[in-house]
Chain A
């Protein structure tokens, strides 16, 4: 089955620690995205990548880092510089053409930092 997997589903960390969230897709999509969702707010874009070895900052990139070494994988690192990291993190992918794209989402990772 084609789709997007995110792991782990729940993640708990102590303040000051870096943590990496996994995102893998087997849809052969070019573009991948990381969003953050907080209660009462719309999804906010953290980073996106259109092709391998290239990525761009979204609206709220501070305190986060990403890599795109393989087409299938787009891991997100939440660093200790992120002031309020507790949130629900969603990874998505799309075909990446400008005329038509549809976003497909993974199941999400809930990160709690105490």
Chain B
């Protein structure tokens, strides 16, 4: 059974700081890994999807890396802004349509 851990559970940083969110997973036989953002009381918004054959993906100020063999992914946010405040979740997918496992997320607060 896939288990996903996200550390830290919460993070507070001043505006402008670069930061890294961590995701680790126990079953490395993944198809891909998706990073999501969730604002309070809202649905999830997809940020980046990394295929198992890729090492990283970039979108604007976001960069996600994947080390499948060690069961780790990181989400790097450059020059953080107050609008980045949200909970960030990672979700690796394993063979079979139902096998997407979500972490409990890292709650990020960017202080102006």
A residues with CB within 8 A of B: 4, 6, 31, 35, 40-43, 45, 48, 50, 56, 58, 88, 90, 92, 96, 98-108, 110
Contacts and interface: CB of A to CB of B under 8 A. Distances in A.
Nearest to B46: A102
Contact of B103 (A42, A45, A100): A42
Contacts of A56: 97-98
Interface string B86-112: 000101010101101111110000000
B51 A100 contact: yes
Given A4-B43, A42-B89, 17 more contacts: A35-B102, A42-B102, A42-B103, A43-B89, A43-B91, A45-B98, A90-B43, A92-B44, A98-B97, A100-B32, A101-B31, A101-B97, A102-B34, A103-B34, A103-B91, A105-B36, A105-B44
Nearest to B98: A48
Given A42-B4, A42-B103, A103-B46, A31 B97 contact: yes
Contact of B104 (A42, A88, A102, A110): A42
- Interface of A, helix, strand, loop or mixed by DSSP: loop
A6 B93 CA distance: 24
Given A42-B4, A103-B34, A108 B98 contact: no
A99 B31 contact: yes
A105 B100 contact: no
Contact of B42 (A40, A41, A107): A107
Interface in B54-112: 89, 91, 93, 95, 97-98, 100-105
B45 interface: yes
Contacts of B31: 98-101
B49 interface: yes
Interface string B6-26: 000000000000000000000
Contacts of A106: 43
A96 B31 CA distance: 13
Contact of B43 (A42, A50, A58, A105): A105
Given A42-B103, A100-B51, A108 B93 contact: no
